Amino acid sequence: MSSTKKIASALISVFHKDGLAPIVKKLDDLGVTIYSTGGTQKFINDLGVNVIAVEDLTDYPSILGGRVKTLHPKVFGGILNRQDNEEDVREMAKFNIPQLDLVIVDLYPFEKTVASGANKEDIIEKIDIGGISLIRAAAKNFRDTLCVSSMEDYEELLQLLSQNNGEISLEDRKRFAAKSFNVSSHYDTAIFNYFNSDHAIPSLKFSEMKGQVLRYGENPHQKGYFFGDFDAMFDKLHGKELSYNNLLDVDAAVNLMAEFQGESPTFAILKHNNACGLAQRPSIKDAYDAALAGDPVSAFGGILISNSEIDRPTAEEIHKLFCEVVIAPSFSEEALETLKGKKNRILLKQKPVELPKTLTRTCLNGALVQDRDSVTDSAENLTYPTNNKPSDNELEDLLFASKICKHTKSNTIVLVKEKQLCASGTGQTSRVDALRQAIDKAQAFNFDLQGAVMASDAFFPFPDCVEIADNAGISAVIQPGGSIKDELSIDYCNQNNIAMVFTGTRHFKH
């Protein structure tokens, strides 16, 4: 069989018709016989192009409200026959089945229908049967049939038809088959995940149609890829391509700042997925200045994120710092002009996109899946086990610190004063070590911890942490509680006039 094949016949049946007209006209110019059905047939007729109705080919009408149109041996025989198989050729002639060289078909928009909040009946009706069957058949028989399964491939198809006078190479047919199986497998995954939303069937299926090759992975000797629709979350306004590590930091930054949406201007600086500076102030410039003061050393090469528009005064201060990425819901024109002064600095305008409700990570020879930690500690859920109760300002700082703590690697201790991150101990094997690290760091940057508050991601099994905090000047503590030895910490706090509140929720982050 010749590796190159000239298209002489085509079946076209699509839901989306954008970009289809030039292809239909090109096929007509090439003398290709076109078969179609339903709305696509009308579309082709309206272009003034001859088209044969599938119903005329099969001698069978579209039935069951359009549910059954192309599911017929004369259609699938035309797609699946092997032209180098003599028996197939004889049967084609016997049953008067036409060869179908090209199949252009797409699928009902199942995912969009689910996302729209449509009722169950509408969602079920958007499960494509004929389309998915045509795609699988045509892609399977790529040696004899070209399958085009997405409108995103129309431009390339038109180019191939025009350049080669309708002749398509085996290499191109196989490449389009791979694309088609990508479409069909993704579609089936979306349907399964809809029916298995409660994970009653212990099976993990993940599919993402958009992806990009990164310069490298976590280190230069590792390959790296990102799979996801980055453009749905951000408008990239300036700068170099994001790296694997940039993307991890951006993810950490977005998740952290989500805790402060709708609040007063808040600015955070992150390094290696942890906040090294974070503050809330009446203006975004003041918030940035206070965040930077938290750790001006670690801020070098960091990821910056704001919950408010970045204006020119803020941008002028940021411009003095070497940073990899700046993220904000918007930038003033003057701020953009300033920040674009560094050609590699990445500027991202964040869009209001809902984050996934589940988290997935590789583990051993499989994967771990869990619900997102969607609990944000609030005053309504606190209990007050100590005699001394936090003041209003202390309570605000405690909840502020708890939000940061939730997004810091465990074991962690976070120290806050006047809605400014003083320091944190991150990723320590001992909670005592995390606390000492935080205190040492805060003191190194000249923070006065008298009246500061402390947040812990998990309970204290012993009173050592509250004692160390007390000696450093900490006046209030927020922690989950729940240790069988809670009373030891409570007793120490009562004896030393420290206010402590329990959240009842642990926030480990590994």
Quick: pLDDT tens for 398-414.
999 999 999 999 999 99
- The label of the residue with tokens 């990508």 reads 182
The yes-or-no verdict on residue 180 having pLDDT over 80 is yes
Please work out, in degrees rounded to the nearest 5, the angle formed at the alpha carbon of residue 7 by the alpha carbons of 90 and 36.
85
Res 269 pLDDT > 70: yes
- The pLDDT tens digits of the residues spanning 314-372 come to 999 999 999 999 999 999 999 999 999 999 999 999 999 888 888 999 999 999 999 99
Which residues, including other chains, have CB under 8 Å from residue 329's CB and lie 6 or more apart?
Answer: 306, 307, 308, 309, 349, 350, 352
**Residue 221 a catalytic site member:** no
Place of tokens 């453009």: 231
Q: Over the chain, what is the mean pLDDT? A: 94
pLDDT at residue 69 in the model: 67
200 burial level (CB within 10 Å; 0-12, 13-18, 19+): exposed
Buried b (16+ CB within 10 A) or exposed e, 218-245: eeeeeebebeeebeebbeeebbeebbbb
In angstroms, the CA 220 to CA 215 distance is: 8
> d(Cα 290, Cα 299) in Å, to the nearest integer?
12
Question: Tell me: the pLDDT tens digits for 232-242?
Answer: 999 999 999 99
Give the pLDDT mean for 118-134. Answer: 92
Selecting among 272, 319, 340, 342, the annotated active-site residue is 272
Write the single-letter amino acid at 228: G
Sign of CA dihedral 141, 144, 149, 153: positive
Closest listed residue to residue 38, CA positions, set 72, 14, 60: 14
Buried/exposed code over 289-310 (b: 16+ C-beta within 10 A; e: otherwise): bbbbbbbeebbeebbbbbbbeb
Mean pLDDT over residues 183-187, rounded? Answer: 96
Full-model pTM: 0.87
Residue 296 has pLDDT above 60, yes or no: yes
Percent of the chain topping pLDDT 90: 87
The reply to whether 26 belongs to the active site is: no
Backbone dihedral angles phi then psi of residue 329, each to the nearest 5 degrees = -70, -20
State which H helix or E strand residue 435 sits in.
helix 431-444
Where is 181: in which H helix or E strand?
Answer: helix 170-195
> What is the pairing mode between strands 476-479 and 499-502?
parallel
State phi, psi for 65 to the nearest 5 degrees. 65, 25
Across residues 52-70, what is the average pLDDT?
77
For residue 276, the model assigns a pLDDT of 97
- Averaged over 199-225, what is the pLDDT? 93
The rounded distance, in Å, linking the Cα atoms of 172 and 157 is 10
CB-based contacts of 424: which residues, under 8 Å, 6+ apart? 274, 275, 276, 404, 405, 408, 412, 413, 414, 415, 434, 438, 441
56 Cβ contact partners less than 8 Å away, ≥ 6 residues apart:
none
Q: Helix crossing, 170-195 with 130-140: angle to 10°?
A: 140
Distance CA 23, CA 232 (A): 29
Q: CA–CA separation, 14 vs 38, rounded Å?
A: 9
Catalytic residue among 17, 140, 186, 319: 140
Which pair of tokens denotes residue 130?
């004929």
Q: At 330, list the tokens.
A: 């918007």
Residue 88's pLDDT is 87
Q: Given the structure tokens 């120290």, which residue do they identify?
A: 415
Residue of 397, 429, 435 whose CA lies nearest to 416: 397
Contact indicator for 23, 157 with CB cutoff of 8 Å: yes
The arithmetic mean of pLDDT across residues 284-302, rounded, is 97
pLDDT of residue 1: 44
Q: What is the mean pLDDT of residues 462-470?
A: 96
Q: Write out the two tokens for 233.
A: 């979350």
Q: Is the pLDDT of residue 46 over 60?
A: yes
Is the peptide bond preceding residue 411 cis, with omega within 30 degrees of 0? yes
For position 59, what pLDDT does the model report?
Answer: 77
Q: Report whether 157 contacts 102 (CB < 8 A).
A: no
Instruction: Judge whether 428 and 456 are in contact, CB under 8 Å.
Output: no
| pLDDT digits 0-9 by tens, 414-427 | 999 999 999 999 99
User: By percentage, how much of the chain surpasses pLDDT 70?
Assistant: 99
